[in-house]
Amino acid sequence: MLVKKALQYSKEILKKADITTPQLDAEVLLSFILKKSKEWLYTNNLYELSATEIFQYKKLIKHRKNHEPIAYITSQKEFFGLNFYVDKNVFIPRPETEILVETALKIISSRQMAKKQEKLVIADIGTGSGCIAISVTKKLAKIENLNFKIYAIDISQKTLEVAKLNAKNQNIPRKITFLKGNLLLSVPEKVDLILSNPPYVLESEKISPEVKFEPKKAVFVTKKSFFREFIAQIDEKMKKNGICLMEIGNQKKEIQNIIDKNYPNIKVEFINDYSKLPRFAKFIQH
């Protein structure tokens, strides 16, 4: 089978299965099998696939046809310019979450946290693949004489093992302290900057078939009191003038109500995503 025939064949299969990006997914999976770029596929569209390559490709297309996410099929996902290993123990990093990383780095720079004498303490809550903590660490490690510490916390040991592997792959395993625990309870000290992409989808909300493959505990809010408990821990663990950046989905109203009713010492602002929707909350401790 020629490359162009393989792409045409798989595109039609994925299209019939209601995959939203059949052409792109067909290209990504064939590129993965051949270990070639997508551009190579079109400059070499008369390349004849071997029997093994055809078998492997059809196997991956079958997985995608069933709406299994590309990231799980290939065990990798790019985030903030870095390649992360992912499996079904971790939530797949989303492009929108890069906004949280960018905002965190701007805060550190603009507030001159990096110039303080004492150690800058950062906590990534619900670290998952470790993409947030690792991306921030890679950038901060380039700042000369910056004294910082990053905690990466998750409630699942299997999830933490994936994050540790990614830290090792990025050559920064000793820069991050990994802790098993619920939210901020296991963090042993007060924190300057808290970062988190916690579960925020209500179980009643409609989700795509792909999301059903991801860990439920990383996607769905199972307790109505989740955000109240999380913000209470933020209030307790965050240093004065500290900041928390949290991805909140469509929970703006809930977050605002919690702050207005219970925390006069915390100011909350909301940050838009690429679609101009308020996806992130910025908490400032006064």
Q: 66, 92, 115 — which closes off a domain? A: 66
pLDDT at 115: 60
The pLDDT of residue 112 is above 60 = no
Looking at the structure, do residues 225 and 144 belong to the same domain, yes or no?
yes
What does the pLDDT average to over 143-152? 88
User: Is the pLDDT score of 57 beyond 80?
Assistant: yes
Task: Average the pLDDT over each of 185-189, 220-224, 274-278 and give the range with the smallest value.
Answer: 220-224
Q: What is the mean pLDDT of residues 46-56?
A: 97
- Over range 104-109, report the average pLDDT: 92
Q: Are residues 192 and 88 in the same domain?
A: yes
171 shares a domain with 39? no
What is the count of structural domains for the chain?
2
Q: Which pLDDT band, with edges at 50, 70 and 90, does 4 fall under?
A: very high
158 with 61, same domain: the answer is no
In this prediction, residue 117 has a pLDDT band, given cuts at 50, 70 and 90, of low
Same domain, yes or no, for 170 and 234? yes
**Per residue in 79-94, pLDDT tens?**
999 999 999 999 999 9
Please check the confidence at residue 200 and state whether its pLDDT lies above 90: no
pLDDT at position 125 is 97
Assigned domain for 97 exists: yes
Would 274 be classed as within a structural domain?
yes
Q: Are residues 119 and 260 in the same domain?
A: yes
Q: Which of 66, 89, 104 is the last residue of a domain?
A: 66
The sign one gets for the Cα dihedral 127, 132, 134, 140 is negative
Dist CA 183 CA 76 (whole Å): 26
Question: Which two structure tokens, joined as six digits, stand for 1?
Answer: 């089978």
Identify whether residues 271 and 222 lie together within a single domain: yes
Q: pTM (2 decimals)?
A: 0.92
Instruction: Please say which residue of 14, 32, 66 terminates a domain.
Output: 66
Residue 114 has pLDDT above 60, yes or no: no
Residue 72 lies in a domain: no
Are 87 and 218 in a shared domain? yes
Instruction: Measure the CA–CA gap between 24 and 38, rounded to whole angstroms.
Output: 9
* Separation CA 36–CA 249 (nearest Å): 36
Q: What's the whole-number mean pLDDT along residues 174-202?
A: 92
Q: Within a domain: residue 243?
A: yes
Query: Is position 71 within any domain?
Result: no
Lowest mean pLDDT among 16-25, 65-74, 246-255: 246-255
Same domain, 104 and 177: yes
> Region 217-226: what's the mean pLDDT?
81
| pLDDT, averaged across the chain | 93
Residue range(s) defining the domain that contains residue 156: 77-285
First vs last C-alpha separation in the chain: 65
Do residues 35 and 102 share a domain? no
**Together in a domain, 121 and 226:** yes
CATH code where residue 151 lies: 3.40.50.150
Residues annotated as part of the active site: 91, 197-198
